């Protein structure tokens, strides 16, 4: 990818034409051009749209940092919604704002939400080791499910909390 400082006036005009700012200066300015599957905008050879926006407003992005969305909208190109930070900062934002995959949505999860609810409400008289063997997980996983320290976003009623 090329640096935004190398963009011509024509490139910048074309870039800006792909941003919907109709919501006003405080709203998200939504990228309407091509996007990646995760919702982040992409502008031809120049790269991710939020990074280009940041560079056009603030100059080059320092080595080793990322451009973070304060608004949690990956398609947003409002420069007031963007800030730089470390990868650790970005990951902490993700966890704090509960945007990270948890429970059954996590790629390594072995249990479905209905299985977790069943484990919590049934199997009375079974040891945690017996339940673990039935579901192909560790005994400690069953203990954590039962005490609520893992899969905590899954309620007993059938919905994600």
Q: What would you measure as the largest C-alpha separation in the chain, in angstroms?
A: 72
* 95 DSSP 8-state letter: H
pLDDT of residue 26: 95
pLDDT at 107 over 50: no
Q: What is the mean pLDDT of the chain?
A: 84
Pick the residue with more confidence: 23 or 99?
A: 23
Q: Which residues of 37-70 are buried (b: 16+ CB within 10 A; e: fewer)?
A: eeebbbbeebbbbbbbbbbbeeeeeeeeebbbbe
pLDDT, tens digit (0-9, with 9 covering 90-100), for 68-88: 898 888 999 999 999 999 888
Residue whose C-alpha is closest to residue 45's, from 79, 8, 82: 8
pLDDT, tens digit (0-9, with 9 covering 90-100), for 151-161: 776 765 544 44
pLDDT at 104 over 70: no
pLDDT at 17 over 50: yes
pLDDT at 7 over 50: yes
**Torsion angle (degrees, nearest 10) of CA 134, 135, 138, 144:** -110
d(Cα 17, Cα 25) in Å, to the nearest integer?
16
Return the residue matching tokens 């902490």.
92
Residue whose C-alpha is closest to residue 79's, from 99, 59, 53: 53
pLDDT, tens digit (0-9, with 9 covering 90-100), for 39-50: 899 998 889 999
pTM above 0.75, yes or no: no
Phi, psi values for residue 105, rounded to 5°: -80, -15
pLDDT of residue 1: 67
pLDDT of residue 155: 64
Ranges of H-type helices in the chain = 9-17, 49-58, 87-96, 113-121, 128-135, 139-147
pLDDT, tens digit (0-9, with 9 covering 90-100), for 120-155: 887 778 889 888 888 888 888 888 888 887 777 676
**Torsion angle (degrees, nearest 10) of CA 138, 93, 160, 113:** -30
């Amino acid at each position: 990818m090329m640096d935004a400082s190398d963009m011509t006036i024509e490139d910048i005009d074309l870039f800006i034409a792909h941003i919907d700012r109709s919501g006003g200066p405080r709203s998200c300015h939504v990228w309407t051009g091509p996007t990646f599957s995760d919702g982040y905008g992409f502008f031809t050879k120049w790269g991710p749209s939020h990074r280009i926006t940041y560079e056009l407003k603030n100059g080059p992005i320092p080595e080793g940092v990322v451009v973070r969305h304060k608004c949690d909208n990956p398609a947003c190109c409002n420069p007031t919604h963007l800030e730089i930070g470390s990868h650790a900062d970005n990951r902490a934002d993700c966890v704090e704002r509960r945007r990270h995959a948890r429970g059954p949505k996590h790629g390594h999860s072995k249990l479905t939400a209905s299985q977790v609810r069943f484990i919590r409400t049934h199997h009375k008289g079974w040891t945690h080791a017996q339940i673990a063997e039935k579901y192909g997980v560790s005994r400690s996983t069953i203990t954590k499910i039962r005490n609520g320290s893992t899969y905590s976003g899954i309620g007993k009623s059938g919905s994600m909390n």
